[in-house]
């Protein structure tokens, strides 16, 4: 593939934030399977690189969830790099804030296959120049380092005309103005990227997919995590396929990942516990990391923890969020007229709710009504 000059485009696959070895500690039994999903996705990325006959793979940090993963996992990753080596595909990578090179026992301090370039410095020194498929490719990389103040942009700048200039950084581009981003997460503005005049900057750190300065000098993109890492990483996951013919590349997304995280709303108005359970199993999908938001006014308080446990096997992972309204629920209306302790409790809490002086006060009283009824329901079940 390399060697003889060609006039064809340079093709590059860009990924980041795979977080291999993540523990998924709060996922119970599903956690172990998720670690295997990450490895499957790593293999899928390698297959996509070979299938699309890319010349170069760039990995923009957080390949691992921590800097010193299990030796078996490190070996697995090295073997993956080696398979790309055998396919004649170059790799360039940086470490991220999760897998920082800075530590003495960093996974990246072992010897890497000859196709792999690792940027080890937290500021950009001399770029690395490669001849690939008839193109001169200049690579500029910044390794994550939380111990040094980094004024990274002076060195991270196009040197020389012509050719193809690609940067790699693990950074927070255009942070929300109301959000204070620590220096170690490298807060930068899109205009800072434009001034680098690089043809493309391969970004990592933000787990959603986003393109910045599209078609302009200093074009940059986040591929996002290729496999969802929690319930909030919703929607299709992808890696980026870039074609360089001079100037900013054309960019397309290649779908990837084993599972998909999504949210689903379920109106529980008038439904009892069994009916709510049936509606949840209607969503059954082995590949779904599903969050169901329960709304409306049900007949009974949804037993969310119990429902999660009993129906987890229909999904990769199931999480229920109870946003049902206790105040208007059928069972509360029934209880209200009872000459019982819980009837008294409901009447008093409903008074508090209707006489609340602020939204906060009303929400607190509603929550108290809900939690109190759950406790009373548990007690009557014992």
- Cβ distance to Mn ion smaller for residue 17 or 322: 17
Q: Smallest gap, in angstroms, from Cβ of residue 183 to Mn ion?
A: 17
d(CA 199, CA 1): 23
Tokens describing residue 222: 């986040």
- Cβ distance to Mn ion smaller for residue 172 or 195: 172
Which distant-in-sequence residues (6+ apart) come within 8 Å of 148 by Cβ? 122
Q: Smallest gap, in angstroms, from Cβ of residue 99 to Mn ion?
A: 9
From 245, 90, 251, 248, select the one nearest 158 (Cα to Cα): 248
Report which residue's Cβ sits closest to Mn ion.
62
Count of CA atoms in the C-beta half-sphere (13 A) of 12: 32
- Cβ distance to Mn ion smaller for residue 187 or 217: 187
d(CA 184, CA 144): 8
* Number of chain positions touching Mn ion (CB under 5 A): 2
From 301, 315, 308, select the one nearest 268 (Cα to Cα): 301
- The binding track of 357-376 with respect to Mn ion, each residue x by CB under 5 A or -, is --------------------
- Cβ distance to Mn ion smaller for residue 17 or 300: 17
Within 10 angstroms of residue 361's Cβ, the number of other Cβ atoms is: 13
- The binding track of 11-50 with respect to Mn ion, each residue x by CB under 5 A or -, is ------x---------------------------------
Q: Smallest gap, in angstroms, from Cβ of residue 225 to Mn ion?
A: 7
- Cβ distance to Mn ion smaller for residue 17 or 227: 17
Which distant-in-sequence residues (6+ apart) come within 8 Å of 166 by Cβ? 12, 58, 92, 137, 138, 139, 140, 198, 199, 200, 201, 202
- The binding track of 179-208 with respect to Mn ion, each residue x by CB under 5 A or -, is ------------------------------
Q: Among residue numbers 49 through 78, which ones bind Mn ion (CB under 5 A)?
A: 62
d(CA 287, CA 257): 10
- 34 by DSSP, 3-state: which? helix
Q: Smallest gap, in angstroms, from Cβ of residue 31 to Mn ion?
A: 18
Q: Smallest gap, in angstroms, from Cβ of residue 16 to Mn ion?
A: 7
Within 10 angstroms of residue 192's Cβ, the number of other Cβ atoms is: 16
From 227, 286, 317, select the one nearest 40 (Cα to Cα): 227
Q: Smallest gap, in angstroms, from Cβ of residue 207 to Mn ion?
A: 6
- The binding track of 216-245 with respect to Mn ion, each residue x by CB under 5 A or -, is ------------------------------
Positions touching Mn ion (CB under 5 A) are: 17, 62
């Amino acid at each position: 593939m390399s060697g003889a000059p060609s006039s064809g485009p340079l093709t590059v696959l860009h990924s980041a934030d795979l977080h291999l070895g993540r523990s998924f500690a709060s996922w119970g039994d599903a956690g172990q399977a998720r670690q295997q999903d990450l490895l499957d996705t790593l293999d899928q990325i390698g297959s996509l690189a070979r299938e699309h006959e890319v010349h170069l793979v760039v990995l923009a940090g957080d390949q691992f969830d921590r800097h010193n993963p299990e030796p078996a996992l490190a070996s697995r990753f090295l073997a993956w790099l080696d398979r790309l080596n055998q396919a004649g595909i170059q790799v360039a990578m940086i470490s991220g804030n999760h897998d920082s090179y800075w530590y003495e026992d960093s996974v990246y301090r072992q010897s890497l296959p000859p196709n792999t370039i690792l940027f080890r410095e937290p500021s950009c020194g001399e770029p690395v120049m490669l001849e690939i498929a008839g193109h001169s490719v200049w690579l500029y990389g910044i390794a994550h380092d939380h111990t040094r103040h980094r004024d990274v942009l002076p060195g991270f700048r196009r040197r020389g005309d012509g050719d193809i200039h690609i940067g790699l950084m693990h950074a927070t581009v255009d942070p929300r103005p109301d959000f204070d981003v620590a220096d170690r997460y490298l807060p930068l503005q899109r205009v800072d990227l434009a001034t680098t005049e690089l043809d493309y900057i391969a970004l990592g750190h933000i787990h959603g997919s986003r393109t910045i300065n599209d078609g302009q000098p200093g074009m940059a993109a986040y591929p996002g995590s290729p496999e969802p890492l929690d319930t909030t990483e919703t929607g299709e996951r992808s890696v980026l396929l870039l074609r360089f013919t001079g100037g900013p590349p054309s960019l397309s997304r290649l779908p990837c990942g084993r599972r998909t995280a999504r949210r689903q709303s379920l109106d529980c108005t008038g439904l009892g516990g069994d009916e709510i359970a049936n509606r949840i199993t209607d969503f059954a999908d082995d590949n779904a990391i599903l969050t169901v938001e329960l709304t409306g006014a049900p007949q009974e308080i949804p037993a969310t923890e119990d429902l999660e446990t009993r129906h987890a096997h229909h999904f990769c992972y199931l999480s229920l969020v109870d946003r049902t309204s206790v105040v208007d629920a059928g069972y509360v209306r029934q209880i209200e007229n009872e000459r019982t302790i819980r009837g008294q409790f409901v009447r008093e809490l409903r008074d508090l709710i209707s006489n609340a002086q602020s939204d906060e006060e009303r929400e607190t009283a509603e929550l108290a009504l809900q939690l109190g009824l759950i406790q009373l329901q548990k007690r009557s079940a014992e």
